[in-house]
Structure 1
Amino acid sequence: MLDRHEAGTRPLTTDCDALQQPKRNEKDRRGRAYPTGTGRTITQTTTGPISMRLASSDHEIDVHAEFAFIGVGAVSATSGFTTSNLGDAAMMAAMIARSARVAILADSTKFGNDLFAEVAPLEAADYLITNAEPPAPLAAALKAAGVEVLIGE
């Protein structure tokens, strides 16, 4: 998916919830990563809103992405993509809404499960990147939703 970018001329700019990622990207010279939301020290991640209202005005600073990679806690044919934290769900949903293309990251242990907070329906994703084929009912629902399943090696 990112092969076209590798051949491109501009560095990759990313928004991520991992507080250590910006350092890694700078070190590897792959581009820049900008964490958004509120930091959580214990997990070294962020959560919450990805846009920000300026205190001095009503103007809201927003983000837009060409591609979002979103890791979720569960994938089901009935509930779509879900997670266990409301702040995370809000941040993921907001990033999905602001992205031209969306890849959901979920290993096979997440298949057929439903968690507390809805992130998005299956139709919100362009790709599901995983480690194994989804079970038949989920595979059918993903296909009907137009989601391409990509299985890593």
Structure 2
Amino acid sequence: MKKFLANAATSLVTGVFFCLGLVLTYLVFDHFVPGDPVPKDLVYVRLPGDLKVTRHLKVAGRPHMTIQGVVQNTGRTTWETVNVEVAVKAGGALVNQCDSDIRGVFLPGESRTFEISCFYVAGSGLPDNISYEIAIRSAGKQA
């Protein structure tokens, strides 16, 4: 019986030290390996006038209504994020709104492509009265 208790105590002590070793390894690794960068504080502008959608088209053959296009920065501001919104209409009545963010440094004069999939709107077999409107709703820049 004494041998059984001694083996149980040895196993318990071994398990505790093994767990402490794992925790210590994690703490050392976490201290020396850099984590995710701190997100930047951005100033958001509603309806920025210097961002334009220059081209867009409805992509055929997709399971959901998908719009691809190009946004151009025509101003002098460097943007960090741009929000593009598609309003899907049936006979002039709004049936769905979809949006997508274009992230990354967006320098003056640059163009960026985007793709927005509108779930709850089929990609094919739509009636002729389905249309869409694209707008740039907001954009973020460095403070």
Structure with greater contact order relative to length (CA < 8 Å, sep ≥ 6)? 2
Normalising by the smaller structure, the TM-score range is under 0.3
Higher strand share: 2
Structure of higher CA gyration radius = 2
Q: TM-score, normalised by structure 2?
A: 0.24
Q: TM-score, normalised by structure 1?
A: 0.23
